[in-house]
């Protein structure tokens, strides 16, 4: 039986004895197991080193090792095992092509990890200083990954002997047809690119679109997500968003405030002449403000109207409301001191009696008293 077994080892298969095939298989298995062991050991040791250091570059190497795919190691082991064989030229070329394609795909995985690592670190550093760069980096990361995998695909096809130049030309013609079929998606994609380059808003800006308000949370390839004041997330199509009229309060460096008050017609002229100074003082007493003007604007239906304009030197809405409240309290205090009355809606009626005499009466503007 042993003799029969030994004789079977000399049986030739694809130009190689069975014994050679067994040796090649054993070598491939041994190489695969060795590579897996090396990967595991390297990850363990490098991870321990990374935990003791401040730099993050060693974290990147740990991630690169963790993402070495087992199928890639298997392809390397099989390719190494072929060196123990004398294979036909065509079969050898196929195995070599498979190994090269595996290497290209693995390189694409590594490139994606490097891009993510760089963008994540840069995003963390720039988020507080320049939120606009976060929006730019998100789109840049996507297009970079697409570019990497397009290059991997073209190199893989070229390795298989396909004429890449003719293929690219054919894809250009076919791309036009695809673009027409998915023009809405491409519209959002181009709108995303426009947002990245033109930066009408960035992550963190508070915007108003029609009657919807909220803070920008995320700018994606197809949609932009906004967190509303009431807490829910609003999702806008990028193309629709750019077609809308957007109020970006995040770019507000100061707030122009216009408000009006009215006093009764019975207010003496000398007190009216004091009012612009009172109104000016009310504004100038507040921090973070710049007074612009205060004027006796018009004769209203039931009041003498004054208009005040000033600037709040910051965009914070809560700060603006605190300032306006303080101004209102000061005006009320000064009006009480000067004996100036705020106007409220009234109507003067003249009632004609039977003997033709007239009598004046004042009544509040309500339907049942008119």
Contacts of 247 (CB under 8 A, 6+ apart): 207, 208, 209
pLDDT band with cut points at 50, 70 and 90 for residue 277: very high
- What is the Cα 80 distance to its own chain's centre? 47
- What is the Cα 285 distance to its own chain's centre? 40
Where are the extended beta strands (E) located within the chain?
Answer: 12-13, 16-17, 206-209, 212-219, 223-228, 233-237, 246-248, 255-263, 289-299, 304-312, 346-352, 358-364
Choice between 340 and 158, residue whose per-residue pLDDT is larger: 340
Question: Is pLDDT of 360 > 60?
Answer: no
Contacts of 200 (CB under 8 A, 6+ apart): 242, 246, 248
Question: Averaged over 312-319, what is the pLDDT?
Answer: 89
Average pLDDT, the chain: 81
In angstroms, rounded to a whole number, what is the distance separating the alpha carbons of residues 216 and 314? 20
124-165: pLDDT as tens digits: 766 656 555 555 566 677 778 888 888 888 888 887 777 777
Out of 178-192, 244-258, 277-291, give the one with best mean pLDDT: 277-291
Contacts of 320 (CB under 8 A, 6+ apart): 255, 257, 312
Residue 367's pLDDT is: 43
Question: Averaged over 267-288, what is the pLDDT?
Answer: 94
Choice between 42 and 18, residue whose per-residue pLDDT is larger: 42
Contacts of 296 (CB under 8 A, 6+ apart): 272, 275, 276, 304, 305, 306
Token pair, residue 146, equals: 């697409």
Choice between 169 and 26, residue whose per-residue pLDDT is larger: 26
pLDDT band with cut points at 50, 70 and 90 for residue 369: very low
Closest to 85 measured CA to CA, from 20, 32, 8: 20
Out of 52-66, 195-209, 320-334, give the one with best mean pLDDT: 320-334
Residue 270: C-alpha distances to residues 130, 279, 342 (Å): 54, 15, 16
Residue 162, classed as helix, strand or coil, is: coil
Residue 6's pLDDT is: 46
- What is the Cα 34 distance to its own chain's centre? 44
Out of 12-26, 195-209, 214-228, 314-328, give the one with best mean pLDDT: 314-328
For the ranges 47-51, 257-261, 277-281, 332-336, the lowest mean pLDDT is seen at 47-51
3-state helix, strand, coil in the chain (%, to 5): 60, 20, 20
Token pair, residue 108, equals: 């694409």
Choice between 359 and 53, residue whose per-residue pLDDT is larger: 53
Token pair, residue 355, equals: 């003997």
Alpha helices in 52-87 (DSSP H): 57-66, 70-81
pLDDT band with cut points at 50, 70 and 90 for residue 12: low
Out of 96-100, 211-215, 347-351, give the one with best mean pLDDT: 211-215
Question: Is pLDDT of 202 > 90?
Answer: no
Choice between 174 and 313, residue whose per-residue pLDDT is larger: 313
Residue 280's pLDDT is: 96
pLDDT band with cut points at 50, 70 and 90 for residue 21: confident
Out of 57-71, 77-91, 291-305, give the one with best mean pLDDT: 291-305
239-262: pLDDT as tens digits: 888 888 898 988 888 899 999 999
In angstroms, rounded to a whole number, what is the distance separating the alpha carbons of residues 217 and 118? 21
> Among positive and negative, which fits the CA dihedral 94, 99, 105, 111?
negative
Token pair, residue 209, equals: 């679109």
In the block, tokens 């409240």 appear at 325
Angle between helices 183-198 and 164-181 in degrees, nearest 10: 100
In angstroms, rounded to a whole number, what is the distance separating the alpha carbons of residues 110 and 125? 23
Residue 2's pLDDT is: 47
Residue 258: C-alpha distances to residues 279, 291, 292, 294, 306 (Å): 12, 11, 10, 10, 11
Residue 159: C-alpha distances to residues 101, 102, 152, 320 (Å): 8, 11, 10, 66
CB atoms within 10 A of CB 254: 13
The CA-to-CA distance between both ends of the chain, in Å, stands at 125
Question: Averaged over 355-367, what is the pLDDT?
Answer: 49
For the ranges 184-193, 282-291, 354-363, the lowest mean pLDDT is seen at 354-363
> What is the set of domains in the chain, with CATH numbers?
2-128+145-157 (no CATH), 185-251 (2.30.30.60), 255-338 (3.30.70.100)
In angstroms, rounded to a whole number, what is the distance separating the alpha carbons of residues 163 and 77? 29
For the ranges 62-71, 79-88, 355-364, the lowest mean pLDDT is seen at 355-364
In angstroms, rounded to a whole number, what is the distance separating the alpha carbons of residues 196 and 198? 6
């Amino acid at each position: 039986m042993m003799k029969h077994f030994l004789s079977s080892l000399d049986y030739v298969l694809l130009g190689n004895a069975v014994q050679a095939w067994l040796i090649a298989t054993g070598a491939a298995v041994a190489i695969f197991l060795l590579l897996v062991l090396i990967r595991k050991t390297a990850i363990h040791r490098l991870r321990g080193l990374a935990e003791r250091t401040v730099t993050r570059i060693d974290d990147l190497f740990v991630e690169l090792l963790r993402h070495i795919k087992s199928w890639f190691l298997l392809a390397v082991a099989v390719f190494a095992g072929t060196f123990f064989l004398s294979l036909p030229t065509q079969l050898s070329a196929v195995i070599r092509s498979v190994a090269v394609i595996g290497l290209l795909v693995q390189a694409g995985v590594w490139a994606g990890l490097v891009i993510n690592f760089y963008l994540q670190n840069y995003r963390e550093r720039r988020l507080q200083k320049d939120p606009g760069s976060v929006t730019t980096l998100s789109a840049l990361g996507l297009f970079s990954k697409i570019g990497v995998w397009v290059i991997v695909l073209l190199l893989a096809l070229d390795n298989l002997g396909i004429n890449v130049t003719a293929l690219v030309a054919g894809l250009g013609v076919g791309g036009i047809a695809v673009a027409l079929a998915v023009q809405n998606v491409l519209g959002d994609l181009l709108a995303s690119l426009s947002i990245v380059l033109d930066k009408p808003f960035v992550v963190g800006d508070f915007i108003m679109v029609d009657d919807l308000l909220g803070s920008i949370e995320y700018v994606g390839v197809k949609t932009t997500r906004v967190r509303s004041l009431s807490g829910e997330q609003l999702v806008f199509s990028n193309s629709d968003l750019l077609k809308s009229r957007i109020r970006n309060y995040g770019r507000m460096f100061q707030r122009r405030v216009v408000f009006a008050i009215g006093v009764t017609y019975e207010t003496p002229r000398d007190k009216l002449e004091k009012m612009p100074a009172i109104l000016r003082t009310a504004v100038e007493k507040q921090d973070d403000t710049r007074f612009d003007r205060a004027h006796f604007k018009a004769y209203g239906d039931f009041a003498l109207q004054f208009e005040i304009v000033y600037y709040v030197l910051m965009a914070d809405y809560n700060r603006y409301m605190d300032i306006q409240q303080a101004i209102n309290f000061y005006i009320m205090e000064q009006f009480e001191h000067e004996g100036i009355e705020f106007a409220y809606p009234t109507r003067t009626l003249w009632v004609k009696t039977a003997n033709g005499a007239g009598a004046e009466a004042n009544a509040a503007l309500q339907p049942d008293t008119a």
